[in-house]
Amino acid sequence: DVVSLETPVGDDSDDGKSTLGDFLSDDKILSPDQESSQRILRDQVRTKRFLQGIAQEVKRVRESKDASETIRVCDAGCGAVPILGLYAAMQDKNVAVVCIEKNPAAAKIAEKYIDLLGLTERISVLCGDARTITPAAEIDILVSETMDVALFNEPMADILAHLKTFVAENGA
């Protein structure tokens, strides 16, 4: 017998809202965190500008600190591929990065990338909402690339408004 994915499942009290297709996973469909991570990698112009800004700010902050002092970077809403935090850590041997990610699955993937690159001593991932989390130390550089699809459900303004209170006086 051939069964359609549109076949209702459940009992009569379910109002027929669930179908067989609701319970089958499709390995070809990306999760939201995977989709957003791939989108940032595809958007080369925007990503390049973020990276240029990070390099410029690390250099600026470094000039205001002793060479051995730590530059603290916060990548708020880092996603599964914390490209901004990774890049910041690569700019100076004394950059310490805290990546904040709300999605637990994306946070775990980010930790794996950081581990694979041998940067666990300099980059940590906090799983939590960047709009409410309190960083353990003052931030020198705050980055957040959390623009959602078509700017709906846009958390960037709330994230920056909350975390800017933890940015150092000479920070960015």
pLDDT digits (tens, 9 = 90+) for 1-23: 776 666 676 766 656 567 656 66
Question: What is the 8-class DSSP label of residue 126?
Answer: E
**What b/e string do you get for 31-49 counting C-beta neighbours within 10 Å, with b at 16 or more?**
eebbebbeebeeeeeebee
The model's confidence at residue 30, banded by pLDDT at 50, 70 and 90, is: low
| pLDDT at residue 15 in the model | 60
CA angle, residues 170, 77, 161, in degrees to nearest 5: 50
DSSP, residue by residue, 18-74: -BGGGGS--TTSPPHHHHHHHHHHH-HHHHHHHHHHHHHHHHHHHHTS-TTSPEEEE
Structure confidence at residue 167 (pLDDT): 82
Q: Which of 19-23, 68-72, 130-134, 164-168 has the lowest mean pLDDT?
A: 19-23
The rounded mean pLDDT for the chain is 82
Angstrom distance (rounded) from CA 166 to CA 142: 9
pLDDT at position 37, please? 65
Q: Which pLDDT belongs to residue 159?
A: 81
Q: How far apart are CA 8 and CA 101, in angstroms?
A: 36
- For residue 125, which phi and psi values (nearest 5 degrees)? -120, 125
Tokens of 66: 């002793």
Compute the C-alpha angle 83/88/90, nearest 5°. Answer: 95
State the pLDDT at residue 84. Answer: 94
Ordered strands of the 71-76 beta sheet: 123-127, 95-101, 71-76, 141-143
Residue 164's pLDDT is 85
Using one digit for the tens of pLDDT, what is the confidence trace for 31-70? 666 776 676 667 777 888 889 999 999 999 999 988 889 9
Can you give the pLDDT at residue 147?
65
Asked whether the beta carbons of 82 and 113 are under 8 A apart, the reply is yes
